Amino acid sequence: MNTILTILMTTVMTYEMPKLPYANNALEPVISQQTIDYHYGKHLQTYVNNLNNLVPGTEFEGKDLLTIVATAPDGAIFNNAGQVLNHTLYFLQFAPKPAHSEPTGKLAEAIKRDFGSFENFKKEFNAAAVGLFGSGWAWLSADKNGKLHITKEANGSNPVRAGLVPLLGFDVWEHSYYLDYQNRRADHINELWGIIDWDALGKRFK
What confidence category does residue 3 fall into, taking pLDDT thresholds of 50, 70 and 90?
low
> What is the per-residue pLDDT for 2?
55
Q: Domain 33-92 has what CATH class?
A: mainly alpha
> What is the per-residue pLDDT for 95?
98
CATH number of 105-204: 3.55.40.20
pLDDT of residue 154 exceeding 90, the answer is yes
105-204 and 33-92 share a CATH fold: no
pLDDT of residue 167 exceeding 90, the answer is yes
CB atoms near residue 159 (< 10 Å): 23
The angle subtended at Cα 28 by Cα 23 and Cα 34, nearest 5°, is 75
pLDDT of residue 1 exceeding 90, the answer is no
What confidence category does residue 14 fall into, taking pLDDT thresholds of 50, 70 and 90?
confident
For residue range 48-98, list pLDDT tens digits in order: 999 999 999 999 999 999 999 999 999 999 999 999 999 999 999 999 999
- Could you tell me which residues are beta bridge partners of residue 170? 138
- Could you tell me which residues are beta bridge partners of residue 169? 139
Alpha-helical runs (H) found in 30-145: 33-38, 45-54, 65-71, 76-91, 105-115, 118-131
Q: Where in the chain are the domains?
A: 33-92, 105-204
Count the alpha carbons within 13 Å of 95 in the hemisphere toward its beta carbon.
12
> What is the per-residue pLDDT for 87?
97
d(CA 149, CA 23): 31
Q: How far is CA 178 from CA 78, 120, 202, in A?
A: 25, 27, 29
> What is the per-residue pLDDT for 52?
96
The alpha carbon of residue 33 and the mean position of all alpha carbons in its chain are separated, in whole angstroms, by: 19
What confidence category does residue 206 fall into, taking pLDDT thresholds of 50, 70 and 90?
confident
Least confident of 14-18, 29-33, 67-71: 14-18
> What is the per-residue pLDDT for 5?
58
Q: Mark the binding-site residues, compressed into ranges.
A: 39, 87, 171, 175
pLDDT of residue 7 exceeding 80, the answer is no
Q: Mark the binding-site residues for Mn(2+), compressed into ranges.
A: 39, 87, 171, 175
pTM: 0.92
> What is the per-residue pLDDT for 11?
53
pLDDT above 90 coverage of the chain, percent: 92
DSSP label of 94 = B
